Structure 1
Amino acid sequence: MPVAEPAAHLLDKPALWIGPEALTETSGGRIAHVYAATGRPTGEVVLAGPAEIDAAVSLARAAWPQWRDATADARRDTLLRLADLIVAQAAELSQLQSLEIGLPVQLARQMPALAADQLRYYAGWCDKVGGDVVPTWPIRGLDYTLDEPYGVVGGIIPWNGTLMAMAQLLGPALAAGNAVVVKPSELAPFVAPRIARLAVQAGVPEGVVVVVPGGAEAGRALVAHPEVDKVHFTGSTATGRAVLAAAAPTLTPVALELGGKSAHLVFGDADVRFAARIAMSGAVALAGQGCANGTRLLVHESVREQIVETVLARLRRVPFGDPANERTVLGPVVSEASCRRILGVLARARAEGVTLLTGGDRAGGDLADGFFVEPTVVADVAPDSELVQEEIFGPVLTVQTFGSEEEAIALANGTRYGLGAYLHTNDLRRTHRVARALASGSVWVNGAPGLLPSAPFGGVKQSGFGRIGGVAGLREFLRPKNVWIPA
């Protein structure tokens, strides 16, 4: 069946909102948003440029003291109301999330509740932010710390799940008492402005949350702005380097959540069927476009055939296609450029002699006009190959075999990334040994719980630094001030 067109009523007339002002002509110009499932434009998007970034930061700077000085219980209750509003408007928000990037509606419908959980978790921290009393010696006195907000936070969020990305940023940043200027990707410009308007409806003062969709020029202007006190960036490693360079002249502190190349390590004593299901999700979830997706399958030689056969059998049954279909699990990748890039990587891998077990091409038939890449599994991949070393960000799973625990760890750690790892074993001692040895910010054992609000998430090596989630995520948006008073 042909892919359904998105509902036109979801889209506002093109405008960019800075506070109550709707701008239709900007220094960033306009861009056509293209629906990934059909390859056809849905309408125009007004983009921020340097002038709009400057106006947004100025508005946030002026509004910030009102939020900073609000009582802790007032901030707490406001975040709780925002969570409730997101749940109340879940149907529309999930449709917008699906429209932005072609996310299957089955998955998009889970996002509002998950986003609300993030906000509720951090609402609970609002009245617990304080400081410490510090012992002093050799001079007696009272020494204590104050946990203070930075001021204006510049947040650059990714396109692969705007609703969750907004909640993960706004929850801790607002709980800490900051104002936030958010730049979502031009590829995903619809959800974030709606959240900003819901924030005002919930009681966040106008200007404390400003959303300015834009491209690379807008991102550079936000990071380099002298009135931005902290930058939080989520995206590719290459762009993360550019963010650091742009922040260097003003010495603006930066937190980076960057790319990943997470491995599934499956040992011989693992639950084969369960491990295969979790491993398969690395290629299927978000069409493989998740930074923490496990896209490298490292299998002990004793269970390789079982695991691979089970993964392939499950993958061939995955409903693939129209995001609006209630059954669809795997949808398109985000853009024509992404589609071509992924297919280019696969073409080069074929030329190197890898074994293509399934997929590897662009989907045809009713899906031919959209950005659909077949779910793909590739075996006999060299450790130094592009497929193993580079973040593909598509529905591609590689298979490698190991014979010993040491070899498994070496393969898992053998990339420049260190965001996540998935470990499948029923040996508790091995679990502790391997988890300690893996160079990654997170290790998930015998399961994939997603990004829990209470748990820190972030990377090591070239997957970045800084954390979102848990008390560590809150600390990213606070800085301590020391006060000493003589006895």
Structure 2
Amino acid sequence: MTAVIGPDNADVLPTELLIGGDWVTGSSAVTYDHIYPATGEPNAKITLAGPDEVDQAVASAREAQREWMSLPIGRRRDIMFDLADAVHDNIDTLGRLSIHDFAVPIRTAPGHAMLAESFIRYYAGHVDKAHGQNSEVSGKHDLNIVDREPYGVVGVIAPWNGPMVVVGLNVAPALAAGNAVILKPSELSPFSALRFGEICVAAGLPPGLVNVLPSDATGGRSLVAHPGLGKIHFTGGGVTARQVLTTAAANLTPVATELGGKSANIIFADADLDQAAILSAWQGPLGQSGQSCACASRIFVQDEVYDEFMQRFLAVLAAAKIGDPFDPEVMLGPVVSEPAMNRILGLIDNAVQGKHGTLATGGQRVGGECGDGYYIQPTVFTDVENRSPLATTEIFGPVVSVTRFHDESEAIALANDSDYGLNAYVQTMNLPRAHRVSRALQSGSVWINRNSDISPQGPYGGFKQSGSGRAGGIEGLQEFQQIKNTRIGL
């Protein structure tokens, strides 16, 4: 099903850089025509940061970080709670800006801001609880103190598919740990991040504690190469991550990463097949049009229920409404850009020509009223060989592969036969099996009978080429703290 495409132009889109609490155009900055993916038309001309603006932001952040750490710890805690309240009050606005960012449907867009609020509120509660410790040492009369201190200024590089999610996962713990943050959203999705920076100032954070610098690769390299950063957190793809790590190595700046995935979704014969079909559709091609590191793009189905599952799964996809992201009934929006659309369609065509699987549904650009936007039909390939390009490449679009398996050991082997290890999904009503399989899967997160639902209490991150470091929980706070050992001879 499709719906008429019509972006809502009533929203005010922030287009400048936010440095030191002020809107800045800058001297080395350039402009960029942001394209709304649902129509293919420009909706704003935004400012992108260059080297001069990075220098300015680092200087501003240093000063703000000193002010932040000079505040009583209870005051910092309360300001972060005020920030959580302010994000809550702006959830609708931030959700709509996320739609303008990358055309995520409105039925899910506010969830990004809600997640950010929950993480800010969680880490606000940790501000006055980041305790150090002491321990015995060989000098029995010595006092040995272990403290956790902030890095100072940290750079947080956000992907285009979830700037507000990164605000929660990375910006919130960085602030709670006592750091200042330079947030670099992609030029493809700058609006919600810029509005968040404005909310930070209004909520009482020192101006410059959160600077927001939309930029392309040039500005990103300037940020990563800056000697004033104490740490960098990068979320994105493996190719760019290697460039970030290489550039940061010049200053020996530590880098944490959350990278891509090619997540397995294992459906056993004892699963609730209706639930499994819905979860597989949403966590696969429908959710954010498959543009998620958590996308369950490799579906493994046990022989006994393969045909029955496929019938239900394809029926869910066929019923999904495609169209205007501002329509509350729309399930599937466009992919982020014309180059992304062409890349995904090229991968689909290569899979068909190379006979990497059988095309069961989709595979084409959506036409008609959606024809000017970057829409691709939900696409499913069956009988896919597990080491084919279709099963090993992170497509980052509404494309999934389906493969049969015979027994539990084969399912685990197929799932683990991947360079990635960010998420894995298991559908079963057998509790012992759920425990056995989850322990055997090489993945940072395993979701049993549910979709991925990142929460502040749970550390999130990858195995293998899906990155290093964790977001969420006490582990997420410690990513932005460095250890100091002080020993006093008594």
Find the partner of 1:292 among 294, 297, 319.
294
Structure 1 position 207, deviation (Å): 0.8
The SS at the match of 1:182 is strand
Match of 2:479 among 453, 460, 476: 476
Report the secondary structure of 1:109's partner residue: helix
**Of 387, 402, 406, the match for 1:399:** 402
Q: Cα 1:8–1:32, aligned 2, differ >3 Å: closer, same or farther? A: farther
Pairs within 5 Å for 1:208-247: 208-247=209-248
The verdict on how the C-alpha distance between 1:449 and 1:412 changes in structure 2, with shifts beyond 3 A counting, is closer
Whole-Å separation in 2 of the counterparts to 1:38 and 1:122: 38
Instruction: Report the counterpart of residue 161 of structure 1 in structure 2.
Output: 162
> Structure 1 counterpart of 2:70, which letter?
D
Aligned to 1:304: 306
- What is the rounded CA distance, in whole Å, between the counterparts of 2:396 and 2:29 in structure 1? 27
Q: CA RMSD in A?
A: 1.3
Q: Report the equivalent of 1:332.
A: 334
8 Å contact 2:412–2:440 — kept in the other structure? yes
The 8 Å contact of residues 37 and 370 in structure 1, kept in 2 or not, is answered as yes
Alignment of 1:4-403 (within 5 A): 4-12=6-14, 14-137=15-138, 139-281=140-282, 282-353=284-355, 354-403=357-406
Query: Within 2, Cα distance between the matches of 1:413 and 1:404?
Result: 15
Q: Distance in 1 between matches of 2:157 and 2:110?
A: 24
Bigger Cα displacement from structure 2, 161-170 vs 326-335 = 161-170
Tell me: CA distance 1:210–1:25, structure 2 relative to 1, closer, same or farther (3 Å).
Answer: closer
Q: Distance in 1 between matches of 2:374 and 2:10?
A: 20
Q: Which residue in 2 is equivalent to 1:445? A: 448
- Residue 2 of structure 1 deviates from its aligned partner by 3.3
CA contact (8 A) 2:21 2:201 kept: no
Residues 241-277 of structure 1, C-alpha deviation per residue, up to 9 Å, x if partnerless?
1110011111111100000011101111111111111
Q: In 2 relative to 1, CA 89–202 (structure 1 residues): closer, same or farther, beyond 3 Å?
A: same
Q: What SS is found at the alignment partner of 1:294?
A: coil
- State the shift of 1:25 in Å: 4.9
Q: Partners in 2 of 1:470 and 1:333 — Cα distance?
A: 31
Structure 1 distance, partners of 2:44, 2:326, is 19
Deviates more, 1:2-11 or 1:308-317: 2-11
Q: 1:465 aligns to what?
A: 468
CA distance in 2: counterparts of 1:228 and 1:394, whole angstroms: 33
Deviates most, 277-286 or 2-11: 2-11
One-letter code aligned to 1:450 = D
- Three-state SS of the structure 2 residue aligned to 1:127 is helix
1:82 Cα deviation (Å)?
1.0
How many angstroms does 1:15 deviate by? 2.4
Deviations 1:384-436 (A, max 9, x none): 11111011001111101111222111111111111010011222222222112
| Offset at residue 138 of structure 1 (A) | 5.7
- Does the 8 Å CA contact 1:119/1:171 hold for their aligned counterparts? yes
Letter in 1 for 2:99: S
Q: Is 2:118–2:456's contact at 8 Å kept on the other side of the alignment?
A: yes
Task: List per-residue Cα deviations over 1:254-313 (Å, max 9, x = no partner).
Answer: 100000011101111111111111111121111101101211101111111111111101
Which of 162-171 and 279-288 deviates more?
162-171
Q: Residues of 2 paired with 1:448 and 1:270: CA distance? A: 14
Give the CA deviation at 1:225.
0.6
Name the CA distance, whole Å, in 2 between partners of 1:420 and 1:164. Answer: 16
Instruction: Indicate the SS of the match to 1:42.
Output: strand
The one-letter code matched in structure 1 to 2:301 is V
Using the TM superposition, name which of 271-280 and 392-401 deviates more. Answer: 271-280
In structure 2, C-alpha distance between the alignment counterparts of 1:424 and 1:327, rounded to whole Å: 27
Scaled by the length of structure 2, the TM-score of the pair is 0.97
Once residues 72 and 448 of structure 1 are traced to their aligned partners in structure 2, the CA distance between those partners, rounded to angstroms, is 37
Report how far residue 145 of structure 1 moved: 0.8
Q: Does 1:435 align with 2:449?
A: no
| Separation in structure 2 between the aligned mates of residue 422 and residue 449 of structure 1, nearest angstrom | 8
Q: Which whole-Å CA distance do the structure 2 matches of 1:64 and 1:126 have between them? A: 15
d(CA) in 2 for partners of 1:449, 1:386:
25
Aligned residue type for 2:485: N
**1:31-75 CA deviation, whole Å, 9 max, x = no partner?**
100000000000201100111111111111122111122222111
Distance 1:51 1:331 in 2: 37
Q: Once the 2 structures are TM-superposed, how far is the Cα of residue 200 of structure 1 from its aligned partner?
A: 1.0
Gaps of 5+ in 1: none
The alignment partner of 2:147 has SS state of strand
Partners of 1:71 and 1:309 in 2: CA distance: 60
* CA distance in 2: counterparts of 1:124 and 1:397, whole angstroms: 40
Is contact 2:26–2:49 with CA below 8 Å preserved after alignment?
no
The DSSP-based 3-state class of the residue aligned with 1:171 is: helix
CA distance in 1, matches of 2:138, 2:17: 55
Contact 1:26 1:47 in 2 (8 A): no
Instruction: Tell me the amino acid that sits aligned with residue 94 of structure 2.
Output: L
Residues in 2 aligned to 1:17 and 1:210: alpha-carbon distance in whole angstroms: 6
Q: Is contact 1:193–1:211 with CA below 8 Å preserved after alignment?
A: yes
Q: How many angstroms apart in 1 are the aligned matches of 2:475 and 2:22?
A: 36
Maintained 8 Å contact 1:16/1:24: yes
Alignment partners' CA distance in 2, 1:151 and 1:337: 37
1:314-341 per-position Cα deviation (integer Å, ceiling 9, x unaligned): 1101111110111011101100011001
Listed one character per residue, the Cα deviations across residues 216-262 of structure 1 (whole Å, up to 9, x for unaligned) are: 11111111110100000000111111110011111111100000011
Report the CA distance between 1:139 and its aligned residue. 3.9
- Once the two structures are superposed, residues 82-107 of structure 1 have per-residue CA deviations (whole angstroms, 9 ceiling, x without a partner) of 11111212222111111110111111
State whether structure 2 residue 418 is matched by structure 1 residue 415: yes
